[in-house]
Amino acid sequence: MRDTLTSLRYRYWPDHLLGEILSKRWTETAIPVILLLIIGLALSRSIDNFLSPASLADTARQAGEIGFIALGLALVVIVGGIDLSVGSIFALTDFCALYLLDVLGWPVPAVVVATLLCGALLGAVNGILVGYLRLRAFITTLITLIVYRSAYDLLIQRYSNAIASAFPDIPSWDFIGGGSVFGIPTVALVYVVIAIFGHIFLTRLRPGWHITAIGGSRRSAYNSGIPVRRTIALCYVASGVLTSIGALFFASRLGTVGGDIGVGLEVIVLTATVLGGITLGGGKGSVAKSAVGVLIVLLITNGLTTMNARGGVNRMALAGILLVAAMVDIRWQKNRTRIISKVYVAPTYHALPPPPPTEIGQGGPFEQNDKLRNVESIGLGRIEAPEDVILDRHDNLYAGSRHGDIMRFLAPDYQTMEVFAHIGGQPLGMAFDRQDNLYVCIGGMGLYRIKPDGTVEKATDETNRSMRSVNDDSRLRLADDLDITDDGLIFFSEATVRYEMDEWPIDGLEARGNGRIISYDTKTGATRTELRGLKFPNGICVASDGQSILFAETFGCSIKRYWFAGPKKGAVEVVMDNLPGYPDNINLASDGNYWLALVGMRSPSLDLAWKMPGFRRRMAKRVPVDEWLFPNINTGCVVKFNEQGKIVESFWDLHGENHPMITSMREHRGYLYLGGILNNRIGRYKLDNADPNFVQYDKRWGKLS
């Protein structure tokens, strides 16, 4: 009963998605967006006409003006600084525009250009001080805030009357502030254009990357040859220009130079920036975040104003939000990776019936024996981590090594070892094709082809991305074993799509179907995912009927058959289940049966833990990996099974001294060669009554040997 509930709970509740979603970069934008939607919804319900076109257009105008300033501040914050003087720059450039237009009577285009120049100049002062003279951004811009504000106060004392008494009637000027295209205010349109450019600039263009790099680590950026000082200075200039754009629209819309223009603007913009998710420490941020932050802040302030809140309340609310947002931001940045690593591991319910007996005297097909005790060792201490072994028709022996090489031991005595090919990743399963090319699965890299002369070629390293996966599963993470059909179709297993090769124990701890079987067509070069949701699929072997493959699910403790052709095409059928150990590679035997390596044996304590996902989740959090309950892969065995899934024979090594671990085996001319991924040797065992001329892939391809 309890187990049934647990099993249902883990089958239908996708625990693993939380970690996958959190590890996506877009979650940091998604959270402000959700906040925005919630606030928008709440306000539209409590305030009448909140979503009317007129109200929306008004919000859009304000959003555009503040949005420009927020964009500028975003740049400065991303580069690792802060600009408090934006409010004063806003006021000064607003004055500049109106003075030039109303008092000096300049033409509109000239006014626009001059205002932008003025903004650039004011920003450049910050830029030179912070960028080149390396003053602290906070104190520098605080000072310029005061200086600019004082200048503005002096100027308006003299000219405010002149500006206030002028009523210029210039259509192009009015269009800037009040015009609209298809009902959308000009300012919003211009903002969108600049925002799109800003997005491309930050994410796709070199200077944008430089800005992010400097914000991330100023010293590293400098060491990489990025002109740090100039870039920082230019960010302040850009901030000034963007602020002046906002000021231009404001000037055109209202045409006033009141004393409180731009006062407290920096708090609004800063709140928007932090609320949008742009980290104050620098190095992280985007245009979308800035825009979302502005909208949230505007909705809140407008909402409060509509609800007749006083100005003080309004500011206090903003300051409160800024404080909370900055706090959340700092905690999140600090703990992000830790939180993700804690929630990413999501064990699930995995129940196996009690295993068949293996003890001596208990009988049964898995009864232990000591047949493998006298296994000879090849390359003892010279080869490391031969997961799979294969022999060519000249009896040379090939094996992978953890140094990323395919090693070749030369027949007949296997004393000479040479590097056959260097690939760079851990070689796992291997198979020869009709043209004697060696196809190898490389953990972390994909499927590779090695020509008889030792040239390495990539066959494939990606497949189609599945629509329902949150993680991008198009890249191959852990290609494991393969076999080739008569039509030149290669089926290979990918053990897990959630973890890297060295993280296989975590996949075992999860015991979820994270793996898949993929096909690669040697004729067309197309790669396609055939099956997914498998529990660590491992060994693969094309069955004798030529229409199906047999594959092992290591943590599923089962062997299954998948029809890729014929009348049952697409069907999957269990051949053997509830094995007493963890099945690994499968290969053809000379008598038409199949060899299967059990890489490890099941233990009751882990079987029980697999039924208790909560226990394993807490273990993953509290206990270091070295101390986790593991699948026991120190002892294993080789079994031979037939087409019907019946065990014919088993080969054990009781003490595991000659050959501690068995991940694969290959029959060749009367001998069985054994590979083990954590071994420093290759095993060789003389088989009784085996075909002395059997060469696996020569028999497959109908060649004489």
Partner 1 sequence: MIAAVREFANRFLGRGDATITVPSFDGALKPNQKLESAETLLTCKEPEDLATDGSNLFIADGQRLMSLSGGTATQVRSFERPISALCALPDGSLAVALGGREVSLYASPSAEQPSVTFADPAFNAINALALADDSTLIATDGSATCGVDDWARDLLELNRSGRVYRLDPANKTVTRLTQGLGYAFGACAHGNAMLVSESWRHRLVLVTPGASPRVVLAHLPVYPSRLTKASGGGYWLTAFTARTQLVEFVLREPGYRRRMMAEIDPAYWVAPRLRSGMSFKEPMQGAHIKTMGVIKPWAPPRSYGLVIRLDADGQPLYSLHSRVDGVNHGIVAAIEMGDDLVLIAKGPGRVLKLPLTGLAEEFRP
The residue range among 9-17, 165-173, 424-432, 616-624 that interacts with partner 1, by the rule CB under 8 A, is 616-624
**What is the rounded (10 degree) CA torsion for 665, 667, 673, 677?**
-20
- We find the least distance from the C-beta atom of residue 424 to partner 1, in angstroms, to be 21
Per CB under 8 A, 679 contacts partner 1: yes
Q: What is the rounded CA–CA span in Å between residue 162 and residue 102?
A: 8
Instruction: Provide the residue type at 60 as one letter.
Output: A
Per CB under 8 A, 625 contacts partner 1: yes
Give the residue, chosen from 333, 529, 632, 642, that forms a contact with partner 1 under the rule CB under 8 A: 632
- We find the least distance from the C-beta atom of residue 560 to partner 1, in angstroms, to be 24
The residue range among 35-43, 262-270, 427-435, 630-638 that interacts with partner 1, by the rule CB under 8 A, is 630-638
Residue 576 in contact with residue 592, Cβ under 8 Å? no
Per CB under 8 A, 558 contacts partner 1: no
Per CB under 8 A, 629 contacts partner 1: yes
Count of CB atoms situated within 10 Å of the CB of 305? 13
Per CB under 8 A, 618 contacts partner 1: yes
Question: What Å distances lie between residue 229 and 2, 19, 34, 260, 437, CA to CA?
Answer: 64, 39, 37, 34, 55
Give the residues across from 542 on adjacent strands: 549
Per CB under 8 A, 660 contacts partner 1: yes
- We find the least distance from the C-beta atom of residue 10 to partner 1, in angstroms, to be 15
Per CB under 8 A, 604 contacts partner 1: yes
The residue range among 52-60, 129-137, 290-298, 678-686 that interacts with partner 1, by the rule CB under 8 A, is 678-686
Per CB under 8 A, 468 contacts partner 1: no
- We find the least distance from the C-beta atom of residue 548 to partner 1, in angstroms, to be 32
* Residue closer to partner 1 (CB basis): 550 or 661: 661
- We find the least distance from the C-beta atom of residue 619 to partner 1, in angstroms, to be 6
Count of CB atoms situated within 10 Å of the CB of 698? 16
- End-to-end CA gap in the chain: 59
- We find the least distance from the C-beta atom of residue 429 to partner 1, in angstroms, to be 21
The residue range among 83-91, 535-543, 624-632, 643-651 that interacts with partner 1, by the rule CB under 8 A, is 624-632
Per CB under 8 A, 557 contacts partner 1: no
* Residue closer to partner 1 (CB basis): 384 or 481: 384
The residue range among 89-97, 126-134, 156-164, 600-608 that interacts with partner 1, by the rule CB under 8 A, is 600-608
The residue range among 286-294, 308-316, 546-554, 628-636 that interacts with partner 1, by the rule CB under 8 A, is 628-636
**Binding pattern to partner 1, positions 486-515, x when CB under 8 A?**
-------------------x----------
The residue range among 92-100, 185-193, 524-532, 594-602 that interacts with partner 1, by the rule CB under 8 A, is 594-602
Per CB under 8 A, 628 contacts partner 1: yes
- The continuous run of DSSP H or E covering 442 comes out as strand 438-443
Give the residue, chosen from 109, 225, 624, 702, that forms a contact with partner 1 under the rule CB under 8 A: 624
Count of CB atoms situated within 10 Å of the CB of 136? 12
Per CB under 8 A, 386 contacts partner 1: no
Closest by CA to 423, choosing from 442, 438, 436, is: 442
Count of CB atoms situated within 10 Å of the CB of 369? 14
Per CB under 8 A, 334 contacts partner 1: no
How much is the CA Rg of the chain, to the nearest whole Å? 35
For helices 186-204 and 206-216, the axis angle rounded to 10 degrees is 70
Per CB under 8 A, 609 contacts partner 1: yes
- We find the least distance from the C-beta atom of residue 421 to partner 1, in angstroms, to be 23
* Residue closer to partner 1 (CB basis): 174 or 607: 607
Q: 74 CB contacts (<8 Å, ≥6 apart)?
A: 273, 276, 278, 285, 287, 289, 290
- We find the least distance from the C-beta atom of residue 587 to partner 1, in angstroms, to be 23
Which residue carries 């970069």 as its tokens?
Answer: 25
Q: What is the rounded CA–CA span in Å between residue 625 and residue 275?
A: 37
Instruction: Write out the DSSP string of 316-382.
Output: HHHHHHHHHHHHHHHHHHHHHHHHHHHHH--------PPPPP-STTS-STT----GGGG-EEESTTT
Per CB under 8 A, 600 contacts partner 1: yes
Per CB under 8 A, 680 contacts partner 1: yes
Per CB under 8 A, 703 contacts partner 1: no
Per CB under 8 A, 164 contacts partner 1: no
- We find the least distance from the C-beta atom of residue 117 to partner 1, in angstroms, to be 57
For helices 206-216 and 53-78, the axis angle rounded to 10 degrees is 70
Q: What is the rounded CA–CA span in Å between residue 150 and residue 88?
A: 9
Q: Is 385 left (phi over 0), alpha (psi -120 to 50) or beta?
A: left
Pull the structure tokens for residue 586.
Answer: 């499968």
Give the residue, chosen from 169, 260, 626, 688, that forms a contact with partner 1 under the rule CB under 8 A: 626
Give the binding site for partner 1 (CB under 8 A). Answer: 384, 505, 600-606, 608-609, 612, 614-615, 618-619, 621-635, 656, 660-661, 678-681
